[in-house]
Amino acid sequence: MPETADTNLPVQDVIRHLTHELRQPLSALESIAFYLQMTIGGGRSDLSAQINRLQQMVDSANWVLSDVLHLLQMAPPNPEAVDLTELASEVLTESWASEGLAIQQEFAPDLPAAWVDIEQLRHLLRSVLQFLRRSADETRAVNISGASTVNALFLEFRANAPGVVTESLFNPLEPNQLLTCRRIAEINGGRFSAEKDSFGWLCLRLDLPVAALV
């Protein structure tokens, strides 16, 4: 008898398989876009703009796939005392994460250390920046501020994002990384939320426990 397909595979295995299969065509598209950009040089600004858009879409798709795998493979956190100001500044120096964003930082002096898994927090910060690169308005102006209360330390990202609907930001079917951000915050004893005012300004807020209180 012919073999039948296994229709009872765990969802995680299906997603891993699809992610693996999508890597090759995305890599091919990235190479084609690079070749076309080199071929046209400085001419045909209309074509160049479309190629740039293709490259941005491939970059976003690759990041989404990496993020999904990160969510599936996320290990229990290994928390330690982390200087939030220092880590945020470190991530912001990574041009691939912050490129295209006009970032203004406002960190309160002498912030207490956060009690968090440093690698998971680093992934969260990169994910937020990737999201804002796609979602903020054409100015890509982003304000990042850090402060603390008696019991918690928080980080806020503010940007004008007129097309963002906060009610769908944590939908697992949406092509963004904010669901993973919320998951990282929660397993580290914090929270991640999103609010938007009537003027289109989006605020993404990360609350984390203070190391000295744990």
pLDDT in tens, 56-87: 666 666 666 666 666 655 668 889 999 999 99
pLDDT-derived band at 3, boundaries 50, 70, 90: very low
Do the domain assignments include residue 3? Answer: no
DSSP state of 139: T
Chain centroid offset of residue 91 CA: 12
Q: Is residue 5 part of a domain?
A: no
Condensed to tens digits (0 to 9), the pLDDT of residues 13-44 reads 555 555 556 666 766 676 777 667 677 766 66
DSSP letters, 71-135, are HHTPPPP--EEE-HHHHHHHHHT-HHHHTT-EEEEEEPTTPPPEEE-HHHHHHHHHHHHHHHHHH
Same domain, 85 and 41: no
Q: Do 44 and 87 belong to one domain?
A: no
Region 39-52: mean pLDDT is 70
125 and 62 fall within a common domain: no
Query: How far apart are the C-alpha atoms of 30 and 57, rounded to whole Å?
Result: 10
Q: Which domain holds residue 40?
A: 11-72
> Taking a C-beta distance cutoff of 8 angstroms, is the pair 47, 40 a contact?
yes
Q: Is residue 4 part of a domain?
A: no
Residues 33 and 94 in one domain: no
The answer on 132 and 65 residing in a single domain is: no
Q: Under DSSP, is residue 193 helix (H, G, I), strand (E, B) or coil? A: strand
Q: Is residue 47 part of a domain?
A: yes
Co-location of 96 and 193 in the same domain: yes
Q: Could you tell me the pLDDT band of residue 185, with boundaries at 50, 70 and 90?
A: very high
Residues 23 and 128 occupy one common structural domain: no
* CB 108, CB 146: distance < 8 Å: yes
Contact 180, 70 (CB under 8 A): yes
Q: What is the pLDDT of residue 99?
A: 81
Q: Per the structure block, which two tokens stand in for 13? A: 């295995």
Check which CATH number belongs to the domain holding 89 and give it.
Answer: 3.30.565.10
52 with 91, same domain: the answer is no
Q: What is the pLDDT of residue 104?
A: 95
Residue 100 clears pLDDT 70, i.e. is over it: yes
Q: In this structure, is residue 1 part of a structural domain? A: no
- Do 87 and 193 fall into the same domain? yes
Residue 179 is assigned to a structural domain of this protein: yes
Is residue 2 domain-resident?
A: no
56 found inside a domain: yes
> Looking at the 3D structure of the chain, how many domains does it have?
2
- Whether the per-residue pLDDT at 105 is higher than 70: the answer is yes
Torsional sign, CA 165, 170, 173, 177? positive
Q: Say if residue 4's pLDDT is above 50.
A: no
Q: Please, what is the average pLDDT of the chain?
A: 80
Residues 55 and 97 in one domain: no
Q: Which of 122, 123, 124, 204 is nearest to 161 (CA)?
A: 204
| Rg, C-alpha atoms of the chain | 20
113 shares its domain with 159: yes
**Cα dihedral 96/62/53/193 (nearest 10):** -70
| Same domain (yes/no): 106, 207 | yes
